[in-house]
């Protein structure tokens, strides 16, 4: 089955700096890569996604990149703000729309 690895597990940045979270996947059949933000005590929230026919996608301060050959994808957050502090999960979806999640990155933005 699919295996999704996510790094780093924790990340601290100063407010205004950029944050980058990286994921790798194992199943070349995976073709849809969503990212989720989970705030304390809440359910995950889909924040951005990218499909396998696209290399990069941007939405305001967040962007995702995908390298299908290397089976890598990344989340970039620019101009971080304290409200960006949360746990971020990458995920990969393939056959039968089964979604496998990464292990999560706890992002702390220091004011």
Partner 1 sequence: DTAVSQTPKYLVTQMGNDKSIKCEQNLGHDTMYWYKQDSKKFLKIMFSYNNKELIINETVPNRFSPKSPDKAHLNLHINSLELGDSAVYFCASSSLAVPEFFGPGTRLTVL
Q: List contacts with partner 1 (CB under 8 A).
A: 32, 34, 38, 42-46, 49, 87, 89, 91, 93, 96-101, 103-104
Task: Tell the smallest beta-carbon distance from residue 16 to partner 1 (Å).
Answer: 27
In whole angstroms, give the CA distance from residue 7 to residue 20. Answer: 9
Q: What span, in angstroms and rounded, lies between the C-alpha atoms of 44 and 2?
A: 20
Q: Which CB atom, from 1 or from 111, has the smaller least distance to partner 1? A: 1
**Nearest-approach distance from CB 94 to partner 1, in angstroms:** 9
Which of 44, 64 has the CB closer to partner 1? 44
Contacts of 8 (CB under 8 A, 6+ apart): 21, 105
Cβ distance to partner 1 smaller for residue 32 or 78 = 32
Please answer whether residues 82 and 15 qualify as being in contact, where contact means their C-beta atoms are separated by less than 8 angstroms: yes
Closest distance between partner 1 and the C-beta of residue 92, in Å?
9
Residue 66 has a CB neighbour count (10 Å cut-off) of: 21
């Amino acid at each position: 089955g699919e295996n999704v690895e996510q790094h780093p597990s924790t990340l601290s940045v100063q407010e205004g700096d950029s944050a980058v979270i990286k994921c790798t996947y194992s199943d070349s059949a995976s073709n849809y890569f969503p990212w989720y933000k989970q705030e304390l005590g809440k359910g995950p929230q889909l924040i951005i996604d990218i499909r396998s026919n696209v290399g990069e996608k941007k939405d305001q301060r967040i962007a995702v990149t995908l390298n299908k050959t290397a089976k890598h994808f990344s989340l970039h957050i620019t101009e971080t703000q304290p409200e960006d502090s949360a746990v971020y999960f990458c995920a990969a979806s393939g056959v039968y729309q089964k979604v496998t999640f990464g292990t999560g990155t706890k992002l702390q933005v220091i004011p």
